[in-house]
Amino acid sequence: MKIGLFGGTFDPVHNAHLFVAEAARVELGLERMIFLPTRGSHYRSGPVASIEQRMAMLRGALASNPHFAIDETDLDASATGYSADLLPRVRARHPHDDLTFVVGGDSLVDSPWQRFDVVLANLDAFAIAPRAERAPERVDSLLATLAPGDREKLRVLDLPALNGSATLVRRQLARGGSIRYLVPEFVARYIAEHGLYRATPDALAHAD
């Protein structure tokens, strides 16, 4: 089976997440896209919503797509939050499947990935979705630093470059703005019902 892997804190999950995951699934001919929520990020401020709240929003957002699934491995108390530690565990559960990790161009260029060789060793492909605020040449320059064998696994997806982010959603909420059409209706209702992301310094922090 050809499987896509899509990680993040999902604080909250938003429509750009869902579009990239589905568009990548179709472009790459994947049979399933597995979302990999993480407890937090090593390189950004920690999530505002709790694990339980983020998972509730993610489950509700994915419910209508039969090709979407969730793997909670990186939510374990023992999880390090590093993809190099997570992907061998995912690979062990899918030893005969074709695995493609899908990331945003900003994540690849701006985050100091640890043991990137281990990440690639556990994947069949590594797909990069463009972001509107990231120049394509920055991704190209990074690819040029990789060994030929590793570079062959990387692919830049032919998708529209989007600006949508969890930071934008949280900032809109913190300033009392609308998030309609930025997030699925289920997520918007959940946020309103639970009073999430109100005007606090953490709500404005950057953690997609």
Amino acid symbol at 114? Q
pLDDT by 10s per residue, the chain, length 208? 999 999 999 999 999 999 999 999 999 999 999 999 998 776 667 899 999 999 999 999 999 999 999 999 999 988 998 999 999 999 999 999 999 999 976 666 556 678 888 999 999 999 988 765 555 556 666 677 778 888 889 888 988 877 778 989 999 999 999 999 999 999 999 999 999 998 655 545 544 5
Q: How many residues does the chain have?
A: 208
Rounded distance, CA 195 to CA 207, Å?
A: 19
Q: Could you say which architecture CATH assigns to the domain 2-163?
A: 3-Layer(aba) Sandwich (3.40)
- Hey, how many other C-beta atoms are within 10 angstroms of the C-beta on 178? 9
Rounded distance, CA 169 to CA 164, Å?
A: 8
pTM above 0.95, yes or no: no
Query: What sections of the chain are H helices per DSSP?
Result: 15-28, 51-62, 83-93, 105-110, 116-121, 136-143, 148-151, 166-174, 185-194
**Which residue, 89, 79, 87, is CA-closest to 39?**
79
Structural domain boundaries in the chain: 2-163
